[in-house]
Amino acid sequence: MADMTESDDNGATKPEGINQTPPALGPPTFATVAMAVGVGYILTLFLFGLIGVVFAIPACFIVLAGVVSAAVGLADKRNRRGPYRRRHLAVFAVSLALALYLLPGLGTIRTLNLHCRMRVAVTGGQEELQSWALELMAKPRDQIEVSAWSDKGAYEWTVQKQHWSRQVRRLNPKRIRIERPLGNDREIVHLLYGGGFLHWSIGVGQPKAIDDLAVEVKAADCVWFRWSDGTSCWFN
């Protein structure tokens, strides 16, 4: 009987000074996975171009959810101190940076621009591409299909594959056009890519024609990147 009383008293006693707070929540697992998805999407886009665009919408939603998850984790005071503090802060900062880079849509466009520059560089370089474009524009147009006319005559031609150089075949555009951006005599060769909600092209020609293209792109609210005096890339 005495033993039972002593046991009950010990069980009822709550030692003072012991912290009853549950342990910290731990590392931000979902936010870390979302961050990896965002980085993986950017790498896929840089290496494979249009194939990566397929994952644009789900990747952006996952990255945004990762930012929310990391923010919720930081809202808990237990995760702002102790062994997980730096990890939570780092994951939140990287997740937020990825979201700011991707969500406005400019991140995808900037990465595709880098992809195009990389493809041109590994297939022969901008100088070789520009040399082919200038040689193409100097040829007679009787063997090149006219695709657009105006009162002043033709201003757009579709270039058949027999006129493509080896480098251009490796770049594998959907189609190629010779255009006069403002209807004058300054011409530019467009290597066209994309489809659906996103189109882009590599524009090659004389520097003055590139300046004309810049005027046209700004008027159409497109995004334009100048690579050199005779080469550019634009998106719409």
User: Sign of dihedral through CA atoms 36, 39, 41, 47?
Assistant: negative
Torsion of CA 133, 138, 142, 146, to 10 degrees: 50
Give every CB contact of residue 199 below 8 A, 6+ residues apart in sequence: 192, 193, 235, 236
Q: Token pair for residue 47?
A: 């290496």
Q: What is the pLDDT of residues 151-169, one digit of tens each?
A: 455 668 889 999 999 999 9
Please give the pLDDT value at position 154.
60
Shared domain check, 136 and 87: no
Shared domain check, 182 and 131: yes
CB 124 within 8 A of CB 167: yes
Please give the pLDDT value at position 235.
87
In a domain, 114, yes or no: no
- The predicted model gives 6-26 an average pLDDT of 48
Shared domain check, 224 and 161: yes
In a domain, 204, yes or no: yes
In a domain, 115, yes or no: no
pLDDT of 77 above 90: no
Shared domain check, 148 and 229: yes
**Could you give the CA distance from residue 5 to residue 73 in angstroms, rounded to a whole number?**
45
Shared domain check, 141 and 40: no
71, 104, 137 - which closes a domain: 104
Shared domain check, 220 and 152: yes
45, 70, 104 - which closes a domain: 104
Please give the pLDDT value at position 216.
65
Give every CB contact of residue 190 below 8 A, 6+ residues apart in sequence: 176, 177, 178, 179, 201, 202, 203
Shared domain check, 96 and 167: no
**Which of 45, 217, 187, 218 shows the shortest CA–CA distance to 116?**
45
pLDDT of 229 above 50: yes
In a domain, 70, yes or no: yes
In a domain, 113, yes or no: no
Shared domain check, 129 and 78: no
Shared domain check, 224 and 149: yes
- In sequence order, what are the beta bridge partners of 177? 158, 190
pLDDT of 24 above 50: no
CB atoms closer than 10 angstroms to residue 219: 9
Identify the domain containing residue 90 by its residue range. Answer: 24-104
What is the number of domains present in the chain? 2
pLDDT of 21 above 80: no
In a domain, 119, yes or no: no
In a domain, 176, yes or no: yes
Shared domain check, 212 and 135: yes
In the three-class reduction of DSSP (H, G, I as helix; E, B as strand; rest coil), residue 95 is classed as: helix
In a domain, 11, yes or no: no
Shared domain check, 230 and 129: yes
Shared domain check, 231 and 128: yes
